A and B are shown apart, each in its own frame.
Chain A
Amino acid sequence: MLETESLRKVYKNKVAVDEVNIYLKEGESVGLLGPNGAGKSTLISMIATLLKPSSGKVFWEGQDIIKNPHIIRPTLGMVPQEIALYKELSAYENVKFFGKIYRLKGKHLESRVQEVLEIVGLKDRQKELVKNYSGGMQRRINIAVALLHEPDIIIMDEPTVGIDPQSRHYILEMVKRLNEEKGMTVLYTSHYMEEVEKLCDRIYIMDNGKIIATGTKDELVSILSSEETIDLVLEESSSAFEDALRAEEHVLKVTETEKGLKLIVPKQSNQLTTIFHLAEKHQAAIQSVSIHVPSLEDVFLHLTGRKLRD
């Protein structure tokens, strides 16, 4: 239903989006995962016809929407990363204003306004000015506006950024319901691994403007299926120990974490003896060791050598 073809956006001397090909099937819930500056917002803006690509195409049901943006616009709900609302107006006034410019009228408008306020759970507090809302409530109104005209596809750009876990949970549940009950197609951008894991059928991982991996959660994790992760918590970091580990043939990857190191090793290779041996040799005190199957987070780490969030 939606497809991009070698989509590319270049700012002066920075390639923000580089030859991206993604697609969404009807009713699908797709996650776009990437660290800050990966190019997620830029990609999404091009899909939403708000930004002209440097090259490449976007198709909506087979039609080129770069040339004819009006084809997708009426069926598209966009939740921008910013709170795109009038802060000096109340939630009700905001939703109503956008309803009017979407040409909803009279009773239908009023009932739609109340419906979306209900969906985002702010029906009781709709008369308050948006600027007096908490961050989480503002985010919810930001979503409500995108739902007004009953779009077929909703594109959400980090809709949970900077809010408390409770509001996050609420929003996630809400999106899940929209997808499952109303069959709305969802493109969900985030740098929270848990969110896309929970919400999305399929995931694209983006870094430095490129899609570096794609698949269902299981498929992505299976990239690392022949490996396992060892988390070491150290008393204090030791570069000698780290270097020694890197030199080790069977340790595939070493990355620093907050409290110690994360190692990726082949499954069942039983590297623990070697690790303890090296630790002793370089006088690094190990506090704890844990071995587990890789998570999406680990996949990302593996693919980019960086963590999703700093």
Chain B
Amino acid sequence: MVNFFLKDIKLLLRDRTELLVIFLMPFILMLILGFALKGVLGGGESTRELEVALVEEDNSNEGKTQFISYLEEQEIPTIAKEQIIEASNQIAIPSIIHTILTKELTEIVAVELTDKEAADEKLAAKEIDAIITIPEGFTYTTLKHVLLQETEAANLLIKKGEHAVFDSSIVENILSQIAQSINLETAIAKESQSTEIRPTSDEVIKRETETITNGEPVSSMEYYSIGMAVMFAFFIASTMAAKSYSEQTQHVLDRIILSGRHPLQFLIGKLFAVIMLVFFQVNVLFVLSSLIMQSFQPISWQTIGIMELITFFYALAISAIACLLIALTLRLRSQAVSSSFTSGIVSVLALLGGSFTPITTFPEVIQMIGSWTPNGMTLRAYMLASQGLPFADIVPYVIRLSWITVFIFILSVVLFPNRRVAA
């Protein structure tokens, strides 16, 4: 078995064209798609609107009153207190945010004002992409932060739908616009009160983004690293099937059978070769993407661990597919199995699984089918993992993938022409 495995690896390493296809092509395609289709995932120049619900949980007047009473307690000269109160009256924080979202960023976002429940419902129904919440006490905290330089900047909550895939830059863009406006208004307010202008940091607000649970949004480079990784793994399976075909037609397989080895050993050698190659391939792509395009950064060890685990399960799934292709190839004595897989089936699977464009843009039914393709569910799992989600959230995908793997394995062993592979 080890001998078969080593032989397969050696043969592949000597096949330069195949190596390029397997290890370099996905990277190149990732770059092309990542740059060309940046818009699909959002980003600054996006023409696609982000549907956002704005939920105001903050009561601006209450916040101001609270701020003033806090100010009264402080030991500051009365004149200064009065100026600060004046200034605070000029800053209407929720309306700044409101104005920016509805008037200035109309190119990027479409905002509607709703209450929390309605927003959650809409997010669940995938009618909107995200909810921006101005949390309770936002005005109070922000005033304290910008006028007194006390406390941390306030949090603006962004809850991103699981279905929504958009570039993190779009969120940055919104937030920095809001921050700038608050800064500007603060500056104006202070100016008019002729208090000395203290330098204010750009970070007047912080953000807290979450997917359904917490997570970083995915950049287009990250998205296509994952998309190409899950797609190109298929080519390792078909390459192995093609190699089996030539071993059969060139009668090398006859020799193996005559040696008294069980033909399944031949299959298992290939299986391990596939697992190793897929593992290697995916890692090469992710590391390159991370080093050159800064994808997946920053990343925690835990996330790396989870992603490697997903890679391992996906490698198993691909090795099962390889076994199925090999079994069919040898049974039918036909190259058509691997070539039709390479030239047709992979593209369909890749499309359905979302390797080229997020499947959220597809009709419901196709999304359903896509989520059941091995590559589709793996892509999803990688996405969640790269957003920093804990393993528990990924387990369902891994389990589903494992079931498919087991099924394909059994099918290929049944179809494998055991007794007389060569006949």
Contacts and interface: CB of A to CB of B under 8 A. Distances in A.
Given A74-B260, A97-B7, A52 B420 contact: yes
Given A50-B422, A51-B423, A73-B258, A84 B3 contact: no
Consensus secondary structure, chain A interface: loop
Nearest to A51: B423
Contacts of A100: 3
B198 interface: no
A83 B7 contact: no
Nearest to B257: A50
Interface string B352-373: 0000000000000000000000
Contact of B250 (A49, A51, A74, A82): A82
Contacts of B14: 88-89
B288 interface: no
B254 interface: yes
A23 interface: no
Contacts of A48: 254, 258
Given A73-B260, A74-B260, A78-B258, A86 B251 contact: no
B11 A80 contact: no
B259 A98 contact: yes
A22 B10 CA distance: 42
A247 interface: no
B48 interface: no
Contacts of B7: 86, 89, 97
Interface in B1-20: 3-4, 7, 10-11, 14-15
A93 interface: yes
Contact of B259 (A82, A85, A88, A101): A101
Contacts of A78: 254-255, 258
Contacts of A51: 420, 422-423
Interface string B216-257: 000000000000000000000000000000000011101111
Given A74-B260, A101-B3, A102-B259, A84 B254 contact: yes
B400 interface: no
Interface string A28-56: 00000000000000000000111110000
Contacts of B103: none
B260 A93 contact: no
A89 B252 CA distance: 13
A90 to B, nearest CB: 10
Nearest to A52: B423
Contact of A50 (B15, B258, B260): B258
A308 interface: no
Max chain A Cβ within 10 angstroms of own Cβ: one of B15, B251, B256, B420:
B251
A97 B261 CA distance: 13
B201 to A, nearest CB: 62
Contacts of B259: 73, 98, 101-103, 149
A102 B10 CA distance: 19
A274 B248 CA distance: 59
Max chain A Cβ within 10 angstroms of own Cβ: one of B10, B254, B258:
B258
A2 interface: no
Interface in B390-423: 420, 422-423
B244 to A, nearest CB: 13
A145 interface: yes
Contacts of A108: none
B144 to A, nearest CB: 72
A84 B250 contact: yes
Contacts of B3: 97, 100-101
Max chain A Cβ within 10 angstroms of own Cβ: one of B250, B255, B423:
B255
7 contacts: A50-B420, A51-B420, A73-B258, A84-B254, A89-B14, A97-B3, A149-B259
Q: Top 5 nearest A-B pairs by Cβ distance? A: A84-B251, A101-B259, A100-B3, A80-B251, A88-B14
Given A50-B254, A86-B7, A145-B255, 14 more contacts: A49-B258, A50-B420, A50-B423, A70-B260, A74-B260, A78-B255, A83-B250, A84-B250, A84-B251, A89-B11, A89-B14, A97-B3, A98-B255, A103-B259
